[in-house]
Amino acid sequence: MSDTTEKPASPARIEFETAPERYRHWRIAVNGPVAELILDVDENATLLPGYQLKLNSYDLGVDIELADAVQRLRFEHPSVKVVVLRSGKDRVFCAGANIRMLAGASHAHKVNFCKFTNETRFAMEDASEGSGQRYLCAIQGTAAGGGYELALACDEIILADDGNSSVSLPELPLLAVLPGTGGLTRVTDKRKVRRDRADVLCTLEEGLKGKRAADWRVVDKVVPRSRMEAAVAEAAARLADQSDRPADAQGITLTPLERTREGHIVAYSSLRVEIDPPSRRATLTMLGPDDAPPEDAAAMQQQGARFWPLRLSRELDDALLDLRTNARDIGTLVFKSAGDPARVLAYDAFLEANRTHWLAREILHQWKRVLKRIDLTSRSLVALIEPGSSFAGTLAEIVLACDRSFMLIGTEKGDNRAAAIMALSPLNLGAYPMSNGLTRLETRFLGEPESVDAARATIGSALDAASCEEAGLVTIAYDTIDYADEVRIFLEERASFSADGLTGLEANLRFAGPETMETKVFGRLTAWQNWIFQRPNAIGPDGALKRYGSGVKADFDPERV
């Protein structure tokens, strides 16, 4: 199989942390309530060797900066109400994902790359829906493939009418793959383009421009180049008027993560990750807060990035991305916790009490996104709820995100810590919807809504292992005689299964109930794209990705499957 043997050169470790002063491809220019986010790719600053980022095309490195910029605009610039996304180059907006990068990348890299870029596009939409920071896309030049998909993630798209500017999704005709960064789904479900017109768009290499682009709703407006700046300013002012972001708030700085890496241990301030390659497991232990929550919102703002919930969420997010990308043979993530569950609940109460404050709101949305990132991580997820743990409220949500959860009844001899408990907080009831639009409790109890009510009635109470099992909050509780063996057997068995089979299984079982544009992108669209990324017509030696730019047309097997 070409796929598993072909693992091209890649840097020792892909880092997801960055900061504007290190950006090579993006610029942020804040001007009162409007910020410009400018894509100006340095074609030589690639993440992997073997390609150049011509025509504002992107690789994972460019997208890591984008994700960082979207995040910082929310936390560091609370008064920004509208982000205008545009190109720093004259005749091109963005040529999408770099084709030579895709052609040279392993299957796993392609899949990971697509997942991260999709998460980032949804983060843009979340900024708009969740906290009123709207995105406006101004296209001068060509927006092709992923370039147009970037625009699709914005609230509005204005296209210059100059004979050159266009939007296109040429993936199928050029490369035999799909517009997989949400393109297909957003065209039909967000912009609600008629399906036969969407079919035309997706098979037309040169795409659409001018009046037809607006008539078909693939953009919101076309304006002559001379009117472009005025039209963008007008739309930005209108979108800013709709925003509820505070006019005068001070942002906080997302300071560098506290992180040390020693061998297989990554230590953050509130999170410890132990990677164990022989067993193909990583254990993530989250530490509860050391102190009580701050007095008030001003004190929270004063703490800034050190505020425990924000700090832990950023550390957890970084750890997940690191494991996904840099530890691909690790098949199971084991979540543990330590600390005082009452304190975790106190922080939850604090956030709940201050949820209209811009910063508390941002932190709740940030946790929502990190929890979604857990849901979408293609690793087996298991929670171990043991003495001394702090799985309460927001941290209990991680237990609910897991494929399995084991809870120890009582304590081992000689263990002075209190027996494990779990506790729910009001935040478990709606602050953190999954991508299917339901809470994890609602998804879990789809067949017995009365169990959601029963769980609600326990809010704030410490539930011991028997109560948690009875309430259905954990998979199973074992006493000290059986616990260690049962957990060990489970983990060993899990490691013996096919990695791909588990990925498909978990991607299905985790998302019961309704589907949304988000689940459609990560379920339907992504699954089909991953299939295509395995097919010779795309990736074989005579396939379109390999032959692209060679002057020789791809040689397709016509068989329909």
Contact call for residue 536 and its own copies (CB under 8 A): yes
Compute the Cα dihedral for 66, 70, 38, 226 and give only its sign: positive
Contact call for residue 503 and its own copies (CB under 8 A): yes
Q: Which of 507, 518, 546, 547 binds its own copies (CB under 8 A)?
A: 507
Helix axes 308-326, 107-131, angle to 10 degrees: 160
Q: Residue 130 or 173: which CB sits closer to its own copies?
A: 173
Q: Residue 78 or 96: which CB sits closer to its own copies?
A: 96
Interface with its own copies in residues 113-152 (CB under 8 A): none
Which run of H or of E encompasses 93? Answer: strand 92-94
Compute the Cα dihedral for 323, 327, 328, 330 and give only its sign: negative
All residues at 6 or more sequence positions from 378 whose CB lies less than 8 Å from its CB, including other chains: 324, 502, 503, 506, 507
**Residue carrying the six token digits 């078909």:** 216
Contact call for residue 326 and its own copies (CB under 8 A): no
Strands (E) across 510-555 are located at none
Longest dimension (CA), the chain: 78
Contact call for residue 22 and its own copies (CB under 8 A): no
Contact call for residue 172 and its own copies (CB under 8 A): yes
Binding region for its own copies (CB under 8 A) out of 63-71, 246-254, 419-427, 553-561: 553-561
Q: How far is the CB of 61 from its own copies (least distance, A)?
A: 20
Reduce the DSSP state of residue 233 to 3 states and report it.
helix
> Amino acid letter at 267?
A
Binding region for its own copies (CB under 8 A) out of 311-319, 347-355, 457-465, 493-501: 493-501
Q: How far is the CB of 136 from its own copies (least distance, A)?
A: 20
Inter-residue contact 136 to 223 (CB < 8 Å): no
Question: Residue 64 and residue 67: Cα distance in Å, rounded?
Answer: 5
Interface with its own copies in residues 253-272 (CB under 8 A): none
Interface with its own copies in residues 61-120 (CB under 8 A): 107-108, 111-112
Contact call for residue 373 and its own copies (CB under 8 A): no
Give 249's DSSP letter: P
Question: Residue 146 and residue 180: Cα distance in Å, rounded?
Answer: 8
Q: Which of 143, 202, 345, 431 binds its own copies (CB under 8 A)?
A: 202
Phi, psi dihedrals of residue 15, rounded to the nearest 5°: -95, 135
Measure CA of the first residue to CA of the last residue in the chain; give whole Å: 19
Interface with its own copies in residues 516-535 (CB under 8 A): 519-520, 523-525, 527-532, 534-535
In the shown chain, the binding pattern of residues 473 to 492 toward its own copies, with x for contact by CB under 8 A and - for none, equals --x-----------------
Interface with its own copies in residues 397-416 (CB under 8 A): 402-405
Q: Residue 37 or 374: which CB sits closer to its own copies?
A: 374
Compute the Cα dihedral for 351, 357, 361, 367 and give only its sign: negative
Q: Residue 36 or 506: which CB sits closer to its own copies?
A: 506
Q: How far is the CB of 530 from its own copies (least distance, A)?
A: 5
Inter-residue contact 410 to 479 (CB < 8 Å): yes
C-alpha distances out from residue 63 to 74, 117, 480, Å:
17, 6, 47
Contact call for residue 173 and its own copies (CB under 8 A): yes
In the shown chain, the binding pattern of residues 330 to 349 toward its own copies, with x for contact by CB under 8 A and - for none, equals xx------------------
Q: Which of 25, 336, 379, 546 binds its own copies (CB under 8 A)?
A: 379
Q: Residue 131 or 475: which CB sits closer to its own copies?
A: 475
Question: Residue 168 and residue 404: Cα distance in Å, rounded?
Answer: 43
Give 279's DSSP letter: G
Q: Residue 269 or 503: which CB sits closer to its own copies?
A: 503
Q: How far is the CB of 193 from its own copies (least distance, A)?
A: 7
Contact call for residue 211 and its own copies (CB under 8 A): no
Q: What angle do CA 448, 452, 456 make, to 5 degrees?
A: 160
Q: How far is the CB of 510 from its own copies (least distance, A)?
A: 6
Contact call for residue 446 and its own copies (CB under 8 A): yes
Contact call for residue 203 and its own copies (CB under 8 A): yes
Q: Residue 462 or 499: which CB sits closer to its own copies?
A: 499
Contact call for residue 246 and its own copies (CB under 8 A): no
Size of site (CB under 8 A) for its own copies: 99
Q: Which of 66, 160, 176, 218 binds its own copies (CB under 8 A)?
A: 176
Contact call for residue 178 and its own copies (CB under 8 A): yes
Q: Which of 45, 328, 353, 458 binds its own copies (CB under 8 A)?
A: 328
Q: Residue 167 or 544: which CB sits closer to its own copies?
A: 544
Question: Residue 306 and residue 283: Cα distance in Å, rounded?
Answer: 23
Nearest partner of 276 among 286, 289, 266, 290, judged by Cα: 266
Question: Residue 469 and residue 190: Cα distance in Å, rounded?
Answer: 41
Q: How far is the CB of 519 from its own copies (least distance, A)?
A: 8
Here the tokens at position 146 are: 């992923």
Q: Residue 192 or 306: which CB sits closer to its own copies?
A: 192
C-alpha distances out from residue 425 to 216, 354, 397, 432, 525, Å:
46, 15, 10, 12, 35
C-alpha distances out from residue 521 to 203, 356, 414, Å:
20, 30, 50
Question: Residue 69 and residue 22: Cα distance in Å, rounded?
Answer: 11
Q: How far is the CB of 9 from its own copies (least distance, A)?
A: 17
Q: Residue 173 or 460: which CB sits closer to its own copies?
A: 173
Contact call for residue 217 and its own copies (CB under 8 A): yes
Contact call for residue 3 and its own copies (CB under 8 A): yes
Contact call for residue 170 and its own copies (CB under 8 A): no
Contact call for residue 467 and its own copies (CB under 8 A): no
Give 94's DSSP letter: E
